Structure 1
């Protein structure tokens, strides 16, 4: 019998309500838990993420080594450019971590509180020709 039925990523931040609103819009989700110190949302595809109040939260500095990566979330998309427009319109910021030359299958961003996440191109489902 499985002991753990489900998990949820929890990000510490100073203002969980504001950060939850960013991810709620990004994931086309809804709040499922809301208390004085925790807000949880469920995205349209069932992905769950929560935000816990920590008045002393320090934004990560990734990719710089000091106070580096504290958590990392990855989202799968079919269109990187459309995802970037949506993220930026909601207050997210691109993180440039590599040479911009050539096509890439992923892009890094930070949310309004500074947590990094990656948007990765869904792999094609059709078999390769040839």
Structure 2
């Protein structure tokens, strides 16, 4: 028997409504403001991501570095990697690692507008 039920992932960021909007554009769903420092994204499928204001937020390093870890990353399944890549970049994502190793690797790594790494993974 599990100890707990999954609730959400909370992401530190400098601008919660902006980052919630980025992920809503990527994933779909509904944004709800709890207060000016906390926004929730209720994504399709019942998943929830929260974005909390973190004054002095430093974007994580990617790849990992001893002085500033990547903090978290999200893996997102996509059907069409090329189309999804164009869309996330148009929304403000920054490419970090697009080397698919001649098709051997089914993912590519980007940073969201607050600098958190996320992966688009070929479905």
TM beyond 0.5: yes
- Which structure: larger Rg? 1
1:44-59 matched pairs, under 5 angstroms: 44-59=44-59
Q: Which runs of 4+ in 1 moved over 2 A?
A: 1-7, 44-47
Normalised TM-score (structure 2): 0.87
Is residue 32 of structure 1 aligned with residue 59 of structure 2?
no
Range with greater deviation from structure 2 (2-11 or 62-71): 2-11
Q: Name stretches of at least 5 consecutive residues in structure 2 with no aligned partner.
A: none
Q: Which residue of 2 aligns with 1:14?
A: 14
Q: Distance in 2 between matches of 1:34 and 1:87?
A: 26
Superposition deviation, residue 2 in structure 1: 5.0
d(CA) in 2 for partners of 1:15, 1:73: 18
Which residue of the partner structure matches residue 61 of structure 1?
Answer: 61
Alignment coverage as a number of residue pairs: 121
Which ranges of structure 1 fall in alignment gaps of 5 or more residues? 123-130
Q: Secondary structure at 2:89's aligned position in 1?
A: helix
